[in-house]
Structure 1
Amino acid sequence: MDQQNKEQFVILLGKYRSGQATPEEINFLEAYYDLFDVNDDLITPDNEADFQQLKTGLKEAIDQQIGLHKKQPARVRPLRWVGVAAAVLVLICVGAAFFRYWPATPEKAPLATVTPAPASQRPLNRPVLQLANGQWIDVDSSGQGIIAHQQGLSISRQDSNTLVYQPLVNTANGDKAHGMNTFTTPRGMKYRVVLSDGSAVVLNAASSLRYPAVFEGPVRAVELEGEAYFEIKKDLQHPFIVRSALQEVQVLGTHFMVNAYPDESNIKTTLLEGAVKVKAEKGAVVMTPGQQVTVDRDDNAVRKAMADTEKEMAWVNNLFAFRQDDLPTVMRQIARWYDVSVEYKGGLPTEKFSGEISRSSSLTDVLQILELNDVHFDVQGNTLTVSYRE
């Protein structure tokens, strides 16, 4: 931390002790709870008591928030939304300090029911479902319960972020739904879709899944652009196939993830449970749990290595996770979640970033942390300009 930031921090600390700090300033101080243990140069004989008072107060608040008084601490698990005060924010640059922040979870506005819209009126920047007949449904503005019917099944919204396909009982074969549905998430939102066979898919922001309303034939095939986490219903007679650019993933019943964003340099498949085969132009690879296969977009090279499964699962649990990532990698994830366009001005820092950030944090909070590492941001509307502060 440079001298100017140190001075500002000490000023805020004094305002906190005297009760004059604003809510925003208090949040800023809380974001640096761990700083006290690793940046001793901030502590002087004049402010040591202030630091101890802040640290003690924050520790009590943090213990209460994350339930440390319980016998069993909360753990992150697949397909469970983070509910511990929107989780912990931690972001570090290599050689910098650890930071934490627990943002408040915003309340959601009441939902209004709408009717399906024609394709020409596709909702923008909202989660949308395109039915086999071409109609679009603004899912986020639909009330809970059944939002659409197709022959042989109902489509319902069970909570604010879950869409469920439910085959109707006693449906004759000739009445089954035919054709493909497409579900698309906007930037800044993830969504869980339960397919007609019972398989569950969690789509990350700015992602699209194309799938049959009802699976028919010898295989269950879907198409993905973006990123998704899959929990596949086991069916030995009907393998599940995920197709994306340059590759095809074949499974019988397993938990895995595919990252196929067009702006990433490779396509990643990460296996958490079971077994899958990844097929690409330059070969096929069988994976075991804990492994990751990448297909390079430039030369189609297929590579297999051990995966950082906690990092890959982080977004499912409402977290960003960085492990020695460069700034453009960090900013691509931020751009998808906060719906901003990122531009770069001048040279960029060569530091690598590691840590975790709650995706419930505001963009302002995230940028404020990053700016401590000699990076400057200028936000104008939906455009975020990044420059290196020398």
Structure 2
Amino acid sequence: MESKEENIINWVRDYSRGELCENSKKALESFLNESRENKALFNHYRRLYANGRSIGFLNQLNEEKAWKQIQSSLSKSKIKTRKLHIWLPYAAAVAIIAIVSTILIKQHSSKIDFSKDYNFEQLAQQGDISATITLADGSRIKLVENEKQLISEKDGTQIAKDSLNNISYTPNTTSSEKLLFNAIDVPRGGEFSLTLSDGTKVWLNADTKFRYPVKFSSSRREVYLTGEAYFEVAHNKQAPFVVNSHDAKVKVLGTSFNVSAYDDQEFIATTLVEGSVQVNNLGNKKLLQPGYQSTIYRGRDEIEIQGVDTHLYTSWVNGVYEFENMELEYIMTQLGRWYDVKFFFTEEKFKHIRFTGAFEKENSFEYALNLIERVADVDFAIKGKLVVVGRE
């Protein structure tokens, strides 16, 4: 008799291939209707399978123990789920993580109790995650979560915020050509989206600063980014759209792309979904095609280009972080921004553990840690305001 885990694996495989027979379809529908946890579990593994990730490793696990751990991670209980020792041969990707109190943690890392049941949810997202908009006159207005707001610029432009945290601009047609700038500051743990005066749509990730004109000039559209944003640029042959990020410039006419340019990472990555963009770095220019990513290392004029799965770098727009062949250090940096926490690694080797997986933003912080624990063979603890990554 097949276990529940084996059923899920078979359903995911057949569903993804379009080979689900009528009996299996009914069984799957019944399973999904049983509980929210069942739906979350099926969708999680379906995402992994759809992106070429192996779920066959579940067959190696003790079935009863695995099922209990999966259920535990989906529940709201604070019981710590223990890791499963599995080795997964994933390739690496490099990133930088900024951690405070390093010396203090190093001195006391041997005293950290990884077996303790920590309240990770209490640590995550304790602060205010509301974004702030700075108007042309320098006044700052808090953008209240899930509430409608109407703001007027001094040139008569109307700035409307809806209950879904999206801002749109309605320019005053009689205003002068003088550029007035607004800026949105999205804190760690927050997110925001806006529609610029030309119809361009922008999604802003956590810990991002974005500066832009209230109304663009007739010949040029230029914005400034520190952090991460996804753009769907309105086409305009007469007015190129330029994203400035540190030393890099991304120039487009109309296209969809992602730019990651955080202050605490040494690289600027531009991922093109459709259309074409020109990447300019300290005078060096390269044209990017869909399905490719350019990487610029700050202070160097080279531009590296490689083919990538663009979904991995843009899924955050839909509330999902997907990782494939990525080092734990990079993943912790991303999750740290999303949940507004800081991480510290007790040993260098833990930074380079490789991981493939996916998290929805609606999942709890503890859910994400439990999943990493099971797959990556690490433990988590709390020291002060830091989440410590190590091994028991």
Deviations along 1:21-70, whole A, 9 cap, x unmatched?
xxxxxxxxxxx9579759xxxxxxxxxxxxxxxxx99873436889xxxx
TM-score (norm 1): 0.69
Is the counterpart of residue 153 in structure 1 residue 157 in structure 2? Answer: yes
With over 3 angstroms needed to count, the CA separation of the structure-2 counterparts of 1:145 and 1:387, relative to structure 1, is same
Please state whether the residue corresponding to 1:384 is helix, strand or coil.
strand
Contact (CA 8 Å) 1:86, 1:358: kept in 2 or not? Answer: no
Structure-1 residue corresponding to 2:362: 360
In structure 2, the partner of 1:385 is 388
Q: Could you report, residue by residue, the CA deviation over 1:296-328 in whole angstroms, capped at 9, with x for unpaired residues?
A: 225342111112111011101111111111110
State the match for 2:224 in structure 1. Answer: 223
Query: Which residues of 2 match residues 241-390 of structure 1 at below 5 A?
Result: 241-281=242-282, 283-297=284-298, 299-349=300-350, 350-372=352-374, 373-380=376-383, 382-389=385-392
1:138 aligned to which of 139, 142, 154? 142
Describe the SS at the equivalent of 2:152. strand
Match of 2:32 among 46, 62, 76: 62
| 1:247 aligned partner, one-letter code | A
- The verdict on how the C-alpha distance between 1:128 and 1:309 changes in structure 2, with shifts beyond 3 A counting, is same
Q: Distance in 1 between the 2:164 and 2:383 partners? A: 30
Q: How far apart in 1 are the matches of 2:183 and 2:163?
A: 19
Q: Which amino acid aligns with 1:254?
A: T
Give the Cα separation in 2 of the matches to 1:150 and 1:202.
25
Q: CA deviation at 1:287?
A: 1.4
Match for 1:362: what amino acid? S
Alpha carbons of structure 1 residues 93 and 130: separation in structure 2 relative to 1, 3 Å:
farther
Taking the aligned partners of 1:330 and 1:59, their CA distance within structure 2 comes to 33
Secondary structure of 1:360's counterpart equals coil
Aligned length: 305
CA distance in 1, matches of 2:143, 2:271: 29
The whole-number CA distance in structure 2 between the counterparts of 1:103 and 1:213 is: 44
Instruction: Rate the CA distance shift 1:222–1:87 in 2: closer, same or farther, 3 A.
Output: farther
Superposition TM-score, scaled by structure 2 size: 0.69
Q: Which stretch of the first structure deviates more once superposed, 306-315 or 376-385? A: 376-385
In 1, distance between residues paired with 2:321 and 2:333? 11
Structure 2 distance, partners of 1:285, 1:34, is 48
The residue aligned with 1:111 is none
Q: Are 2:168 and 1:164 equivalent residues in the alignment?
A: yes
What do residues 323-381 of structure 1 show as CA deviations (whole Å, max 9, x unaligned)? 11111011001100110111121343343101211121111111112222321111256
- Report the Cα offset of residue 201 of structure 1: 0.4
| CA deviation vs aligned residue, 1:270-297 (integer Å, no higher than 9, x gap) | 1111111000126101112111111122
Q: Give the residue type in structure 2 aligned to 1:359.
A: K
CA distance in 1, matches of 2:205, 2:7: 31
Unaligned runs of 5+ in 1: 1-31, 39-55, 67-83, 105-122
Structure with a larger share of its residues in helix: 2
Question: How far apart in 2 are the matches of 1:86 and 1:232?
Answer: 35
Query: What aligned pairs does 1:190-209 form with structure 2 within 5 A after superposition?
Result: 190-209=191-210
The amino acid of 1:384's aligned partner reads V
Identity of aligned residues (%): 30
Tell me the C-alpha RMSD between the 2 structures. Answer: 3.5
SS of equivalent residue, structure 2 residue 349: coil
Instruction: Report the AA paired with residue 225 of structure 2.
Output: L
**Partner Cα distance (1:87, 1:257) in 2:** 29
Any unmatched runs of 5+ in structure 2? 11-25, 60-65, 76-126
